[in-house]
Amino acid sequence: MIGELLVLYNTLFNYFLLKFTQEITGLYVKRSRLILSAFCSGLIASILHQSLLGAVLSFVILIGVAFSFNIQTLLKQGTVLFLATFFLGGLLTSLLPFLLKQSDFLFFIFCTSIAFISLSAIHLKWRTMKQEKIQQSFVVDCELQLLQNTYYLKGFIDTGNEAVEPMSQKPVHFLSYQAVSNNLPSEFHDALLQWDEKDPYQLKMFPSTVYPKIRILTLSTVQKEKSTVLAFRFDRLKISGTTNKEIYDEYVVFTRNDAKYPQDAQLILHVLALS
């Protein structure tokens, strides 16, 4: 009975480690193959648990059956698996005085729960860091010329922003009102605050020189709600960073709620800024 339990413990922990390695390295493997690998390795480890050769053989079988026996796999997936095993083993060893006081059933529950929660937490942190790194690659420096003023802004190229001005099909970018409000021409600033979304075509408050640069757009929000906004044609936008280019005569929409801009950006750029 003890032998069967040892195989079960080893198989379960091996499966957790393999699933973690699969998620981190991005290599798709069928669940049945992971379970088979976990069982074979667990069986070897249970039979040869006091042998260094058994530990090495168990580890190689664990990687090879689940992923592949080639050198590249042994290095890539093997490294992640080894580090995860080392971490989990150290964590459980540090908690061993507490765990040994429990019944066999509670010992099993606590160990599996600790393994699952700790590996899940590491995976979540890793995924968050990876997303952050990807987002940082889309951060650029921007020099925007709008209404005869120049603004130096932190931009973010949003691959989900595909908004265009309907008539010209030119891209629409989103500019943080808070980032530029203090430097906007006073007459234009006052007019912008006076404009009413409920009466969007009433534009008399804007200076006559601004009229040709205004477009009234209807956009869909993330919540699928329709919103009427004003878009203003800028003179030039210079982008430096991931991509280096100059854009002319496209549009910006002022947004008040910029707290959710990624990477603390001040200007959300259209996806075509990447091309």
- Domain extent listing, the chain: 2-135, 140-274
Q: Is 87 helix (H, G, I), strand (E, B) or coil?
A: helix
pLDDT of residue 141: 94
CA dist 125 and 87 (Å) reads 15
pLDDT of residue 3: 62
pLDDT of residue 129: 85
Give the number of other Cβ atoms within 10 Å of residue 49's Cβ: 13
Share of the chain above pLDDT 70, in %: 96
The alpha carbon dihedral of 49, 52, 53, 55 has a sign of positive
What's the gap between Cα 273 and its chain centre? 20
Q: Which residues of the chain have pLDDT under 50?
A: none
pLDDT of residue 258: 60
pLDDT of residue 184: 92
Half-sphere exposure of 157 (CA within 13 A, CB side): 21
Angle at 48 between CA 46 and CA 53, to 5 degrees: 135
According to DSSP, the residues that pair with 239 across neighbouring strands are 142, 245
pLDDT of residue 250: 95
Angle at 133 between CA 127 and CA 139, to 5 degrees: 140
Is-contact 94 118, C-beta < 8 A?
Answer: no
Residue that is written with structure tokens 């095993």 in the block: 85
HEC readout, 22-62: HHHHCCCCCHHHHHHHHHHHHHHHHHCCCCHHHHHHHHHHH
pLDDT of residue 238: 96
The reply to whether the predicted model has a pTM over 0.85 is: no
Q: Which amino acid is at 159?
A: T
Give the list of residues 6+ apart from residue 137 with CB closer than 8 angstroms, or none.
Answer: 242
DSSP tag of 168: T
